[in-house]
Amino acid sequence: MIEILSSSALATVQDQGREGYLRYGVGTAGAMDRLALSVGNLLLGNPEDAAGIEIPMFPFRIRFLEDTAFAITGADCAARLGERSVLPWWTAQASKGDVLTIGVPASGTRCYLSLAGGVDVPVVLGSRSTQLRGQFGGYNGRQLQKGDVVQAVGLEQAAPLYELAHEAGFGTVPPEFSIPRPLAVPEAEATETVVRVLPAAEYDCYQPESLAAFWSEGWKVTPQSDRYGYRLAGPTLSAVRVIEKRSHGIVPGVIQVPHNGQPIIQLRDAQPSGGYPKIGTVIEADLWRLAQARIGTKLRFVQTTYPEAVAALEDVERYLAKVRNLVDLFRGSRH
């Protein structure tokens, strides 16, 4: 059990998302960086789809109201438990009364606080994720506020690694150092995020020079970006002719082009349908990279193929398999 000490932090309870309801007009919600949340859960012995807290604004502070094992994954944050430093992608043990402060990340933009057993909020339509647009799920359908008390599942319902108590804990290598990177873009700067993209349905409807710019230019993530979508700024994408479409289904990762020619990447809180033409789709394996792109930095798109997208997803699964094996080895060494 923890108490939120921060105000207006835009933190929400999220799990892996609400699948199977897009046809009913219900978006997926869920963690923007689902890989980071999975790893936090694995390190604690939680189910991989257990709920955690997604934190996009800093500093973020909580007080532990009981002894609890926890992990912080995602953005590379400087965190402290009282006066003690807490490593990212690592497990730690808090005692009742301890205050955890998560500072501004050195890299990345969202971190995930996982608690032993997972965050205990009601399951709505098969998920504990907060759906901000519909104001349901998570903690009363809203972001967490100062004074909120969040319950963990509890010892009797979970299988966390409680051998960690009063020890240094253990952790893993972050995915950016373990999963093969997308093909390098020579002109990309170190601060730019490179993601692989599949051409989408209306790709061929754009001017050749616009398509060339789409792949060659850096796209700035504007301050109007959020969990609903990243609004980008860059060259104007011009169609060969006016494109008028009826509203149709869309999923996270789809890149739409509104009338102003500036792309929007639909993300976890996006509405399940829209009428703007689709120029591309960020592949599933790179959505976690996209989730960690900072406001004001640039994205680079690398064209890929369906077989390459499948292979990239297999790279992610291999990384998760290594983390699972690490946890199993650690458990085995404790018995």
Closest CA to 150 of 127, 176, 183, 128: 128
What ranges do the domains of the chain cover? 2-178, 193-304
Measured N-to-C along each axis, helices 306-333 and 34-44 cross at an angle, to the nearest 10 degrees, of 20
Rounded distance between C-alpha atoms, residue 222 and residue 325, angstroms: 39
What are the tens digits of pLDDT across the range 268-294? 998 888 889 999 999 999 999 999 999
pTM: 0.93
Rounded distance between C-alpha atoms, residue 238 and residue 289, angstroms: 27
Rounded distance between C-alpha atoms, residue 188 and residue 80, angstroms: 34
DSSP 181: P
What are the tens digits of pLDDT across the range 160-172? 454 544 455 789 9
Q: Indicate the pairing of strand 278-282 with strand 254-256.
A: antiparallel
What are the tens digits of pLDDT across the range 238-250? 999 888 778 888 8
Look up the CATH superfamily of 193-304: Cyclophilin-like (2.40.100.10)
What are the tens digits of pLDDT across the range 80-120? 999 999 999 999 999 999 999 999 999 999 999 999 999 99
* Whole-number pLDDT of residue 165: 41
pLDDT beyond 50 at 158: no
